[in-house]
Chains A and B, each alone.
Chain A
Amino acid sequence: ETGVTQSPTHLIKTRGQQVTLRCSSQSGHNTVSWYQQALGQGPQFIFQYYREEENGRGNFPPRFSGLQFPNYSSELNVNALELDDSALYLCASSWGEGVGYEQYFGPGTRLTVT
């Protein structure tokens, strides 16, 4: 059984640029959620994708967008990067939407915006 994988591991971008982060869900899982974790804080929920549609969203602006593909992998896109976007971005997968399904996390992508 393959766990949740994310790429790249680390990334450095300049303010104003755009970035795409990728996540492959654990085998057998069809739901992907994305989180942002700033240094010293807990993860903040960005959004969840189920059956290729957004299934829930946290308090993040529209410049944070995502996709889920038919193989259940997912992308997180962030436009017009700001310095405060520097964080660890975590992806989690689960079998089924929401209620009753345990989430499993990938190792994260550490994004630095300069």
Chain B
Amino acid sequence: GIQVEQSPPDLILQEGANSTLRCNFSDSVNNLQWFHQNPWGQLINLFYIPSGTKQNGRLSATTVATERYSLLYISSSQTTDSGVYFCAVEQGTSGTYKYIFGTGTRLKVLA
């Protein structure tokens, strides 16, 4: 089955620093989402981005579907950015859908 790998697995930043998180997937996918999971377990939608580039405030994301990777950029990091970042991809057709989450990047932003 498809493999979804994220790097780095762990990241520690000083407040104000920038970072790039990567998501590699081993097969073609229908769509891709980025999530931030807060300490209480809530998954917060960041981007729905099967291809192209999107920006939302200090965050932006780029997916290059033909090369099977996606990048999440965090600029001017804040302590509230701490948590686990997941990418998730979807495969299949009607009746056979599967959703696969990546291995996650655990981010800690220090004040």
Within 8 A of A (CB), among B62-111: 86, 88, 90, 92-104
Please measure, in the bound complex, the distance between the C-alpha atom of A104 and the C-alpha atom of B42, giving whole angstroms: 10
Determine if A98 and B30 form an interchain contact, defined as CB atoms under 8 angstroms apart: yes
Complex formed: what's the CA distance from A110 to B41 in Å? 10
A13 to B90, CA, bound (A): 32
Q: Which residues of A contact B30 (CB under 8 A)?
A: 98-100
Question: A17: which B residues are within 8 A, CB to CB?
Answer: none
Is residue A44 contacting chain B, with contact meaning CB distance below 8 A? yes
Query: A95 near B: Cβ within 8 Å?
Result: no
Q: Is the CB of B45 within 8 A of A102?
A: yes
For B102, the chain A residues whose CB sits under 8 A away are 42
Category for how many chain A residues contact B: 20 to 34
A99 touching B31, Cβ below 8 Å:
yes
Assuming the contacts A99-B30, A102-B48, asked whether A42 and B95 have C-beta atoms less than 8 A apart, the reply is no
A43 to B90 alpha-carbon distance, docked (Å)? 13
In the complex, the answer to whether A107 meets B90 with C-beta atoms within 8 Å is no
Q: Which of chain A's residues have a CB closer than 8 A to the CB of B95?
A: 55-56
Question: Which residue of chain B lies nearest to A31 when distances are taken between CB atoms in the complex?
Answer: B97
Roughly how many angstroms separate A101 CA and B92 CA in the complex, as a whole number?
13
Asked if B43 CB lies within 8 Å of chain A CBs, one says yes
Rounded to whole angstroms, the CA-CA distance of A110 and B101 in the bound complex is 19
Q: In the assembled complex, which residues on chain A have CB atoms less than 8 Å from the CB atom of B33?
A: 102-103
Q: Verify A98–B97 contact, CB threshold 8 A.
A: yes
Q: Min CB distance, B77 to chain A, in Å?
A: 22
Residues of A within 8 A of B94 (CB): 55, 97-98
Sample of 12 more A-B contacts, CB < 8 Å, known A42-B103, A100-B50 = A33-B99, A35-B101, A43-B86, A43-B101, A45-B98, A55-B94, A56-B95, A97-B94, A98-B90, A98-B97, A99-B90, A107-B41
Q: Which residues of B contact A (CB under 8 A)?
A: 30-31, 33, 35, 40-43, 45, 48, 50, 86, 88, 90, 92-104
